[in-house]
Amino acid sequence: MTRISAKFDQLRREGRKGFIAYLTCGDPHVEATVEEVLLLERAGVDIIELGMPFSDPLADGKVNQAAADRALRSGTTVSRFLDTVKTIRRSSGIPIVLFSYLNPLIAHDFRRLCRKAARSGLDGMLILDLPVEESRMFSQDLKRAGLDHIFLVAPTSPDERIRKIARASSGFVYCISLEGVTGMRDELGGDARRLVERTRRFTSLPIALGFGIATPRQAARVAEYADAVVVGSAIVDRFFREGDSRAGRQRAAAWVRELVRAVKGVEA
């Protein structure tokens, strides 16, 4: 059992919903990332999605694109990403999911990278541009390394494709609330609840919902029907706006705590 599965088992036993926070590793530098992860854990975050900065982040909106650019300019590489996870592991057992596009991963020999990722303390991977139809070899390498393979389900996914994704997934299934790229929205897509309900027909895995969630009210609404709520761009933006200092990161983490409280107030 991975840390991800263990965390969802714990949440289920306690009758609570999960909160998953996204950060871009190395934004604005890896030392800040380590501090942010530890602050978010203390704020009640259950799982961290840690983004691998990439020069062509096609699924990301402007906030995460800018974060990836800052991380690349700070010198964040695949090796530094894994070293950052190792550093976090000295102080924390929080589950960490690598959030990446395929290109940087296969450039480093994917099978060997999986083994190194597991040794660093990583728990799973979400590869945004890897379709389930082409994922078998990669899923096998992840499984051999003891890592979960998490897939995205989009509002446009037909039932048969959701079935394939559910069968290929481990850890949890990640539903996205809207079509298009990541980013904060005033309102979530109207089909978000229906997508979670459709996906639940094909899997007993926990189902998380993300993309567009930016306020406690939105987070609480999603927690009414999803097993976990994912917040990304809003958190990245808050850390950036609060500034590159310990005090700024503490202010940002305090704001995230309000999102967490909104989710935890909803019983499973």
Catalytic sites, residue numbers: 49, 60
Tokens representing residue 67 in the block: 């974060």
Query: For the chain, first and last CA: distance in Å?
Result: 22
| 102, β-bridge pairs | none
Query: Which value, to the nearest 10 degrees, does the dihedral of the CA atoms of residues 247, 251, 256, 261 take?
Result: 120
- Gap between the Cα atoms of 141 and 126, Å rounded: 14
Residues 6+ positions from 147 with CB-CB distance below 8 Å: 2, 114, 117, 118, 122, 123, 124, 125
- Gap between the Cα atoms of 56 and 53, Å rounded: 9
CB 101 within 8 A of CB 75: no
Q: Rg for the chain (alpha carbons), in Å?
A: 17
| 225, β-bridge pairs | none
